[in-house]
Structure 1
Amino acid sequence: MTRLVILDRDGVINQDSDAYIKSLDEWQPYPSAIQAIARLTQAGWTVAIATNQSGIGRGYYDVATLERIHRRLLSLVKAAGGEIATIAYCPHLPEDGCECRKPKPGLLYRIQRGLALDTLADSWMVGDSLRDIQAGLAAGCRTALTRTGKGRRYEAEVRSMSPVTWICEDLMDFAEQLINEPDLP
């Protein structure tokens, strides 16, 4: 059985910006997040990323720039002793009506298909926004909200919508709780 954790990127792994992360220089990972991914990997979890990247559709940056950022992320995680199995992104604008933009679960299903999983029921979706949690719930995942990024502003709404969603200080807090939870598969 594959034990899967799906992470949002901006606000969970790296600092977020209302002006978008448009270049490699603007991409600033949280040091503890890189270590958290490594810890999850070392504890036997498969880690994937599902990220909305409408800055591509808005013309703020291109796919090549996004790929440079993701290569840096993969390199940092590997250097820390971890691995990211796959990165799925949605380049569309909110008004495009695509099936992959969170809060719709399309990115999560793309990851599920890519990893040949029958279900996401034992998987986790970790994000810093309401739409991350909504996508996770729609796909049947367990969910966790980090207080990093935009997480604090969504905490009350997430608590009322999904009382079973974990609220974590950051990705490392989530990883430590998950690794140390004896009742989880």
Structure 2
Amino acid sequence: MESRIIRWGIVIVRIFCAFISFYITISCINSLNYAAGSTKEINWIYEYLIFKSVASSAIAVASLVFAARWMQSFYKEDVKRSEEVERFNADMIRASWAIETILEVQEEYGKDVPEILIKGMITGLFEDKQKANEVNDASLALQALLAFTGSASFGPNGPTIEIGKKEAKALSKAKLPTDEEK
């Protein structure tokens, strides 16, 4: 709750700074109009006022863009956290159901639940989303092999891989992982 108040406070300050910059821009434009109506002023005054109005406009736009991006990043973080909480709640419900089911089977039938059924019920519980996206060694090996092949096909007779001279040379020069790297 406190962080949200701080976030909104910073956004309000940024928006206030943007309005001040817009006010400075408008006052500079009015000064230019006033100076243009009177006698010719020194050229550097015009340049200063133009620079001041352009700089304050850039600051105003940058402040608004920064405030919007900053709030968007917090929104995305909040959405991510709420999704994690929802996933955790769903995992808790599923784990509770699995325990209840196992206890009911043991109580009513006096038998143990098969291990394969238990594994099926608890697969993926409380696992990190990033861990699920990790690539295993077999798929990395297949990816490396396919990078060196001229063509590959998978059919009823098993996989067929054709390697040309160029790919064979590249494959023979490929660095093999050592025991320390594994």
Q: Do they fold alike, i.e. is TM over 0.5?
A: no
TM range (shorter): under 0.3
Which one has the bigger strand percentage? 1
After TM superposition, the score normalised by the length of structure 2 is: 0.18
Higher relative contact order (CA 8 A, sep 6+): 1
Q: TM-score, normalised by structure 1?
A: 0.18
